[in-house]
Structure 1
Amino acid sequence: MTNKDINVNNGSSGGKLAPGEVKVLMAGLMISLLVGALDNSIMSTAMPQVISSLGGMAYYVWPFTIYLLCSTMAIILSGKLSDIYGRKRILVLGIALFIAASTLCGFAGDMLQLTFFRGIQGIGGGILMTIPFIVVAEVFPPRQRGKYAGILSSVFGLANVLGPVLGGVITGFMGWRWVFFINIPVGIAAIYILRSYFPHMEEVVKERIIDYGGIITLTAALSSLFLALTFIRDPAIPPYLLAALFIFAGVMVVAFAYVEKRSREPILPLHLFKNSIFNVSAVAMFLASAVMFCGIIYLPLFMQGVQNLSPAISGVLITPMLLSLTFSSIIAGQIISKTGTYKKLAVGAFVLLTGGMALLSTMGIGTGILEVVIYSAILGAGTGMTYPIFNVAVQNAVSKREIAVGTASMQFFRNIGATVALPIFGVIVNLTINMDINMASKIPANLMNLAVHNVYLTGLVISILGVISCFFLKDAVLSNRMEGETPSKELKNSNGDKMELGENAK
């Protein structure tokens, strides 16, 4: 492989992308990913004005919940659909769906309409957060995937930094509806770039068989789980109804497994769970996501509820954590590309996560601002490293035919980690405070500090489990060649000797 072009694994005769074309392609993929990743964070600062305009305070959480539910389902479905209909077609469809739904959200007349349109937007967002990582796996050789996956993963941190700021600025100067309308020109630009520079990739699956049984049972399982977790802290919901939702979700998971085992083209092949690298990576992504949201959600609460800082200052102080997440993701990808291995990096990432959580759990009323910034930045660095590591590990461990499904599964478990963890953290806070929040004008700082401390101790336990899980991860020497490519005679080490890199796990 020369420095002038990059091999493309397009399923047929192969192809080349010039460096300039690679940059434009990556720009298109990053814009697509940014639009999907930005949407929930940008909405957080716009929602108060949305409620003021549309009313419906009782439905405050639903635009977020429905987006998360629909995007999670779309994540696992988009991998298989792109196998059948092609990466480019599904990605462009996802952007178009996102643009259309954004337009409808901008014209919503009440909260129920907004919630429905946000669900459609979530479907497009799930596609946008999955297909770019699949494309990277197919365009670049295993050893280079880490570098480009790290660049893509950094978009998540960038979105969390830019989202609240952009949401506040756009809402303040143009109105909340422009939070949605701004997606239209950005999405159109992404479609133009991708239609012009997207490499040719043949469909992986020739028979267009849709796993309807898997789609129905998975949708039912996730919907029931999301509803149960959303209402778990609502005293108005009877306990027997919550129990029924959890039980139904469990039954649907069993039904999903039964259907997938017999499907000709399952959306999630169960034999992947026989692969130890897939299993460890899925667990690690789940745990890393839970710990990340532990920091992102409860650090501002600590700053405002314990240290009595303003929302603006707490927003500024959490920025270093998100920036460290962004840069560590890029650096981790570069290290994978240089070394060709990932296990030590995975262990190191969770050690950083554990160290960050341990430090955060020591904070109190007298903790200085500099300490908060440093502790949170350490947590962010560990979180950012996990994104490219486990994506690359799974993409290298599965067959070429299952790269899309494997990649989508990692994003799926990342979403599920946040979905399951956040209600658990909320229950811990409520049990610690042990008082009627609606009757309390202000929770005492020492009590709030204890509640956040207990959440961080839980996050510490989760991160320790992540460290343990990484020791079971099989390492691999990643190849610098595309699958099926003849070893280059020009590949030499520093002594001038020819060298080859294998792909098999040790």
Structure 2
Amino acid sequence: MSRRQVLEALSGLLLAMFCSMVSTTVVGTSLPIIVPALGGTQESYTWVVTITLLTTAISTPIWGKLADLVNRKTLMLIALAVFVLASAGAGMSTSAEMLIAFRALQGLGGGGLAALSQVLMADIISPRERGKYMGLFAGVMAVATVGGPLLGGVMTDTIGWRWNFYVGVPLGIIAFAVLLRTLRIEQIRAAKVRIDYLGIVLLSVSAGVLLVWITNVSDYGWISWETAWMVGIALIAAVAFVLVELRVAEPLIPLTLFRNRTFTLAVLASISIGVAMFGTSVYLGQYMQISRGYGPTEAGLLTIPMAAGMLVASAVVGQLVTRFGRWKSYLVVGAVLMIAGTGLLSTLAYDTSLWLVGTYMFLLGAGTGMTMQNLVLVVQNTSKPQEIGVASSGVNFFRTVGGTAGVAVMGSVLAASMTQQLTDRAQEIGAAVMSLGEQGQAILAQLQSGALPVTRDMPEAIAVIIEDASAQAISHAFLIGVPLAVLSLVAIAFLPNKPLTRQNNIERMRAQRLEGDLAVATAETGSIPVHVADDGDASSARSR
């Protein structure tokens, strides 16, 4: 593919990613309206959010493995078709259960788009050249993360909540047409395709039950019969999965990947990045709304520094990686920035200057931008060309599962800290409530119910107490991310500093096949055939 063809195909991949991310983030501010409109309950609300994460995480390694076995372009188009149809179905939902089902299909297609876009990018762009394109992916993520919730709020207020889902349909159709026309890859595939169906089932059970437990552990309790049987099922399925993977011809996640030091360390480093991505999106929005009293739209705008840090750092570092070929020092700096950003966010108070909060978010965003895509890049650089799909999706899978687990722990710490502080300040809260009469009693009932308080609607006498308590609780939650960020730094420090190859994945597979043919021919004839002479030097071949 020429440079122009590469850019055309890349535009299709970027549009597919943007379609997936916008469709995921656009409903964030509108779900409190969508779920009641469909007759849903609080449990329905939780499942609408959780089910997409579940199916995305579970399907990512499956799509990655299939990418190593069958045509990747066809898989990408299938994933896009599933996502577009699911988005249209979600928009036409007439009940909360119907919406949950289509959100599950959205996650299934979204997992394919996330996994396959990185594999296809490796097919058409070499690791050395890929850095300068990483800024485009970071830009897509930044715009979708910030713009999605704002767009969702505007559409819900003007043309109706169903357009939160319909918006992904035209974007997906355009991406489908662009990829169908522009993407040209030569994929060397195994003669016989063997799919590890049992491995797929066991991984789905293990990861699915684990993620459901993690998401709802605050309701069950860390020590409860629900925790015991769900964790037990997840562990049994995980052990069975490992045993199956050791025996099947085409394992879903080859355990030999963990012999690759780069892959293993990148997985460890990615856990902290997952916490940074998911945790900040959840708890920074909560800080802005509960601890500072802003509305959803204002809270979304105030988190722009996080997205800006990701965009700027990823774009600049990507260009530097391509120009000079060095990558490890930028990863180390990114890990240090993540430690600094997470540590500083753990000092938040209800009256912290917004300029300081924005600076803390920018540092964390910059650290995430420097590390997230580059970890996948170095894994692809050292993995076998035939395993590029499972290696790339493996990093994404463990980042999602690890990040979700970290966010659940953060939520438990936040809830426990909030409860403790409200208990410690019960006398102060009681005095404020008494001074407000009937309004104070209604606020007290809301706090006792466990519902999230809307401080912007409260009188100042009680609002300032709740804002102070929630800010301290959220800062305690961010402390969980500090040791995980340190773990990322340690893992990155031990990554082998291997130079980036200038061959894309298709070229590496072609060269590998050529070397195999050369070895066979040499073994048969005892000499190097002239048509595969070193460096393609025909004159030297003829002279020999």
Mapped to 2, the partners of 1:269 and 1:301 lie a distance apart of 40
Q: Residue 320 of structure 2 corresponds to which residue in structure 1?
A: 335
Q: How does 1:117-136 map to 2 (within 5 A)?
A: 117-136=102-121
Specify the SS of the correspondent of 1:433.
helix
Q: Within the alignment, does 1:91 sit opposite 2:52 as a pair?
A: no
Mapped to 1, the partners of 2:297 and 2:28 lie a distance apart of 14
Q: 1:320 to 1:237 in 2, by over 3 A?
A: closer
Give per-residue Cα distances to partners, 1:306-332, cap 9 Å, x unaligned: 233333322211112112212322222
What amino acid is aligned across from residue 213 of structure 1 in structure 2?
Answer: L
Q: 1:21 to 1:66 in 2, by over 3 A?
A: same
Q: Residue 27 of structure 2 corresponds to which residue in structure 1?
A: 43
Q: Residue 502 of structure 2 corresponds to which residue in structure 1?
A: 480
Q: Which moved more, 1:245-254 or 1:149-158?
A: 149-158
What amino acid is aligned across from residue 258 of structure 1 in structure 2?
Answer: L
Q: Residue 3 of structure 1 corresponds to which residue in structure 2?
A: none
Specify the SS of the correspondent of 2:497.
coil
Q: Within the alignment, does 1:344 sit opposite 2:355 as a pair?
A: no
Q: Residue 460 of structure 1 corresponds to which residue in structure 2?
A: 482
Q: Which runs of 5+ in 1 are unaligned?
A: 1-16, 487-499, 501-506
Q: Residue 296 of structure 1 corresponds to which residue in structure 2?
A: 281
Q: Which moved more, 1:352-361 or 1:24-33?
A: 352-361
Q: Residue 258 of structure 1 corresponds to which residue in structure 2?
A: 243
Mapped to 1, the partners of 2:324 and 2:405 lie a distance apart of 34
Q: Residue 363 of structure 2 corresponds to which residue in structure 1?
A: 378
- State which of 54, 79, 102 in structure 1 corresponds to 2:38: 54
Q: Residue 32 of structure 1 corresponds to which residue in structure 2?
A: 16
- State which of 408, 418, 442 in structure 1 corresponds to 2:393: 408
Mapped to 2, the partners of 1:237 and 1:433 lie a distance apart of 17
Specify the SS of the correspondent of 1:362.
coil
Mapped to 1, the partners of 2:191 and 2:51 lie a distance apart of 33
What amino acid is aligned across from residue 458 of structure 1 in structure 2?
Answer: I
Q: CA deviation at 1:264?
A: 0.5
Q: Within the alignment, does 1:228 sit opposite 2:239 as a pair?
A: no
Q: Within the alignment, does 1:242 sit opposite 2:227 as a pair?
A: yes
Specify the SS of the correspondent of 2:303.
helix
- State which of 430, 433, 438 in structure 1 corresponds to 2:449: 438
What amino acid is aligned across from residue 340 of structure 1 in structure 2?
Answer: G
Q: 1:365 to 1:237 in 2, by over 3 A?
A: closer
Q: CA deviation at 1:236?
A: 9.2
Q: CA deviation at 1:24?
A: 1.2
Q: Is the 8 A contact 1:356 1:376 kept in 2?
A: yes
What amino acid is aligned across from residue 469 of structure 1 in structure 2?
Answer: A
Q: CA deviation at 1:50?
A: 0.9
Q: Which moved more, 1:241-250 or 1:293-302?
A: 293-302
What amino acid is aligned across from residue 33 of structure 1 in structure 2?
Answer: M
Q: Which moved more, 1:76-85 or 1:90-99?
A: 76-85
Specify the SS of the correspondent of 1:364.
coil
Q: Is the 8 A contact 2:334 2:367 kept in 1?
A: yes
Q: Within the alignment, does 1:168 sit opposite 2:153 as a pair?
A: yes
Q: Residue 268 of structure 1 corresponds to which residue in structure 2?
A: 253
Q: Within the alignment, does 1:391 sit opposite 2:365 as a pair?
A: no
What amino acid is aligned across from residue 423 of structure 1 in structure 2?
Answer: A
Mapped to 2, the partners of 1:192 and 1:310 lie a distance apart of 39
Q: 1:51 to 1:20 in 2, by over 3 A?
A: same
Q: Residue 442 of structure 2 corresponds to which residue in structure 1?
A: none
Identity of aligned residues (%): 31
**Highest Rg: 1 or 2?**
2
Specify the SS of the correspondent of 1:56.
coil
Mapped to 2, the partners of 1:88 and 1:37 lie a distance apart of 20
CA root-mean-square deviation: 2.0
Q: CA deviation at 1:150?
A: 4.2
Specify the SS of the correspondent of 1:69.
helix
Q: How does 1:136-155 map to 2 (within 5 A)?
A: 136-155=121-140
Q: CA deviation at 1:393?
A: 0.7
Q: Is the 8 A contact 2:210 2:231 kept in 1?
A: yes
Q: Residue 540 of structure 2 corresponds to which residue in structure 1?
A: none
Q: Which moved more, 1:113-122 or 1:48-57?
A: 48-57
Q: Is the 8 A contact 1:355 1:378 kept in 2?
A: yes
Q: Is the 8 A contact 2:410 2:478 kept in 1?
A: no
Question: What is the TM-score of this pair, normalised by structure 1?
Answer: 0.89
Q: CA deviation at 1:282?
A: 0.8
Q: CA deviation at 1:400?
A: 0.7
Q: Which moved more, 1:430-439 or 1:28-37?
A: 430-439
Mapped to 1, the partners of 2:216 and 2:36 lie a distance apart of 24
Question: What is the TM-score of this pair, normalised by structure 2?
Answer: 0.83
Q: CA deviation at 1:285?
A: 1.2
Q: Which moved more, 1:244-253 or 1:328-337?
A: 328-337
Mapped to 1, the partners of 2:348 and 2:86 lie a distance apart of 42
Q: CA deviation at 1:224?
A: 0.9
Q: Residue 209 of structure 1 corresponds to which residue in structure 2?
A: 194
Give per-residue Cα distances to partners, 1:94-123, cap 9 Å, x unaligned: 000111111111111111111011111111
Specify the SS of the correspondent of 2:486.
helix
Mapped to 2, the partners of 1:142 and 1:238 lie a distance apart of 46
Instruction: Specify which structure has the higher proportion of helix.
Output: 2
Q: CA deviation at 1:417?
A: 2.5
Mapped to 2, the partners of 1:336 and 1:362 lie a distance apart of 33
Mapped to 1, the partners of 2:122 and 2:448 lie a distance apart of 48
Q: Within the alignment, does 1:185 sit opposite 2:196 as a pair?
A: no
Mapped to 1, the partners of 2:165 and 2:299 lie a distance apart of 26
What is the aligned length?
Answer: 471
Mapped to 2, the partners of 1:445 and 1:344 lie a distance apart of 40
Q: CA deviation at 1:57?
A: 2.0
Q: Within the alignment, does 1:80 sit opposite 2:65 as a pair?
A: yes
Q: Is the 8 A contact 1:79 1:404 kept in 2?
A: yes
Q: Which moved more, 1:77-86 or 1:87-96?
A: 77-86
Q: Residue 473 of structure 2 corresponds to which residue in structure 1?
A: 451
Mapped to 2, the partners of 1:235 and 1:399 lie a distance apart of 43
